[in-house]
């Protein structure tokens, strides 16, 4: 199956800092999504972004499909950004959605 | 809108019993997804529906698992018989259509003893 690698596995920031999370994948994809799970377990689907760039407030994501990676940018981080960020992909040739192991982000006040 | 509503929030059952998890998607949403999250396996997409029709159930782990969507406002995920390794948090999510971000319910924490 397709391999999904997220980096870094853990990240600690001070409030106000910017960060970049990375998702590498091993095959061509037709579906790539970013999710955030807060410390209370609630899941939020942040972006559906198989290619290109999207922005939503302080968050933006870019997927370079030809180079098989996606980046999630968090600007001016807030404590509420803490949690685990997951990347998930679906191979273009057909397969089920596969999740990475996530990046654990902690934003300290 | 109340969002995606899942019930029950918590379920504890004995091995071998039938378990039914329920989901009410957001009104007007045409795609519905069931996910499972465990420490060992992480997040997994089990099945998704478009317009009440199951499109991809390749993530359903075994025949003990079944999902239905009898109408646009209700879906169930059934496990029969349940086993301890089914213990997990099960999430339901819905969206207007594939390709748009989905809204998640709060999840059902299932414990099989």
Q: How many CB atoms lie within 10 A of CB B16?
A: 10
Chain A: residue whose CA lies nearest to B34: A97
Confirm or reject contact between A42 and chain B (CB < 8 A). Answer: yes
Instruction: Give me the pLDDT at residue B1, please.
Output: 65
- Quote the tokens at residue B25: 């998607």
- Going by C-alpha positions, the residue among A33, A30, A31, A36 that lies closest to residue A47 is A33
Distance of alpha carbon A70 from alpha carbon A39, whole angstroms:
24
Class of residue A86 by CB neighbours under 10 A (exposed 0-12, middle 13-18, buried 19+):
buried
- If you average pLDDT over residues B6-14, what whole number do you get? 98
Q: Do the Cβ atoms of B107 and A33 come within 8 Å?
A: no
Cβ neighbours of A30 (radius 10 Å): 13
Show the DSSP H helices in A54-106 as ranges. none
Chain segment A2-13, per-residue pLDDT in tens: 999 999 999 999
User: Which residues in chain A show pLDDT less than 70?
Assistant: 94
Token code pair at residue B57: 């159930």
Let me know: does A29 contact A92? Beta carbons within 8 Å. yes
d(CA A53, CA B106): 29
B99 pLDDT band (50/70/90 cuts)?
confident
Question: CB of A80 within 8 Å of any CB in chain B?
Answer: no
Count of CA atoms in the C-beta half-sphere (13 A) of A99: 23
The per-residue pLDDT for A51 is 96
Candidate from A44, A97, A102 with C-beta closest to B45? A97
* Count of residues in chain B: 113
In angstroms, rounded to a whole number, what is the distance separating the alpha carbons of residues A49 and A30?
Answer: 9
Q: How far apart are CA A5 and CA B19, in angstroms?
A: 34
């Amino acid at each position: 199956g397709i391999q999904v690698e997220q980096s870094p596995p853990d990240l600690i920031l001070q409030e106000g800092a910017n960060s970049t999370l990375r998702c590498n994948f091993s095959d061509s994809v037709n579906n790539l999504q970013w999710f955030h799970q807060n410390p209370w377990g609630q899941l939020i689907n942040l972006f559906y972004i198989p290619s290109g760039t999207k922005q939503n407030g302080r968050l933006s994501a870019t997927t370079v499909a030809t180079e098989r990676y996606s980046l999630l940018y968090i600007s001016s981080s807030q404590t509420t950004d803490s949690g685990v960020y997951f990347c998930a992909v679906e191979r273009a040739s057909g397969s089920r959605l596969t999740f990475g192991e996530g990046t654990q982000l902690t934003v300290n006040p | 809108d109340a969002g995606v509503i899942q019930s029950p929030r918590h379920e504890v059952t004995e091995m071998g019993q039938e378990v039914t998890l329920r989901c009410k998607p957001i009104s007007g949403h045409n795609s519905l997804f069931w996910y499972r999250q465990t420490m060992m396996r992480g997040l997994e997409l089990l099945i998704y529906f478009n317009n009440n029709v199951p499109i991809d159930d390749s993530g359903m782990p075994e025949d003990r698992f079944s999902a239905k969507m009898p109408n646009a406002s209700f879906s169930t995920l059934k496990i029969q018989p349940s086993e301890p390794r089914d213990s997990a948090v099960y999430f339901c999510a819905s969206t207007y259509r594939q390709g748009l971000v989905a809204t998640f319910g709060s999840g059902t924490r299932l414990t099989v003893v």
